[in-house]
Amino acid sequence: MKWADTILFDQPLQDVRLLAGAPTQDWQQFLRDREQAAFEEGRRAGESALSEQLLRQRNDTIELQRGILSSLQTTLPKVAHEAETALIELALEAAKKIVAGMPVDVAMVESTVREALRQAEDSAEIVIQLHPDDLALLRQHQAEILNGLPDSGPMRFSHSSEVGRGGCVIQTRFGLIDARRETKIEQLRQSLNS
């Protein structure tokens, strides 16, 4: 035996068949069957890998969805609250500008004083503080309110630079009634924020 005719293997061969004498058609069928089996095995492995990848992607998408929904559940109430607060502030600023732009006349000052006097629990010894210009306006037009009201006791009017135009502060022996515009707007702000 020559060296060229000898084939060396690393491991011993098992279940070896000699096909050299087999008909060519059987050999080709064997190769086709083997190729088909390898193709099927590759297809199954590819489908399995694709299925696992799709399952992972689906789970990742579900987790992402849950995270987004959770974030929205915590964020939306905050955004709604912030928008509500901003809207309240905007409305109050608009109200301030409207009120500030309204001309102060005798009827307005009298109406403010009458409204504040309705809140007074005691009709004895009432001191009504007005802005100096408002008091001068009432005196200039000889407003009826300066002579008092039928249901109230003696009233005394004084001016105070701490009272803004269009508002008043009433002092009774039980305390103060603050009917200044800025106080009313602050009370409105607190009631809207609660």
Q: Which pLDDT tens digit goes with each residue over 84-117?
A: 888 888 888 887 788 777 788 888 888 888 888 8
Question: What pLDDT shows up at residue 118?
Answer: 83
**DSSP-assigned beta bridge partners for residue 156:** 127
Confidence of residue 10 (pLDDT cuts 50, 70, 90): confident
- Contact by Cβ (8 Å): 112, 167: yes
How much is the average pLDDT of 171-186?
Answer: 86
For 118-129, letters b (16+ CB in 10 Å) and e give: eebeeeeebebb
What does the alpha-carbon distance between residue 133 and residue 141 come to, in Å, rounded to a whole number?
A: 12
Element of type H or E holding 119: none
**190 vs 180 pLDDT, higher one:** 180
**61 vs 119 pLDDT, higher one:** 61
By residue count, the chain amounts to 194
How much is the average pLDDT of 166-192?
Answer: 85
Q: Which pLDDT tens digit goes with each residue over 23-74?
A: 666 778 888 889 999 999 999 999 999 999 999 999 999 999 999 999 999 9
**97 vs 123 pLDDT, higher one:** 97
Q: Which residue has the tokens 């987790």?
A: 63
Reading the block at residue 88, the tokens are 């309240």
pTM beyond 0.85 = no
Q: Within 10 Å of residue 96's Cβ, how many Cβ atoms? A: 13
Question: What pLDDT shows up at residue 121?
Answer: 67
Residue 1 has pLDDT above 50, yes or no: no
Residue 161 has pLDDT above 70, yes or no: yes
What does the alpha-carbon distance between residue 4 and residue 189 come to, in Å, rounded to a whole number?
A: 105
Query: What is the chain's alpha carbon radius of gyration, rounded to the nearest angstrom?
Result: 48
Q: Are strands 175-178 and 168-172 parallel, antiparallel or unpaired?
A: antiparallel
- Using a pLDDT cut of 90, give the percent of the chain over it: 34
Terminal-to-terminal C-alpha distance of the chain: 107
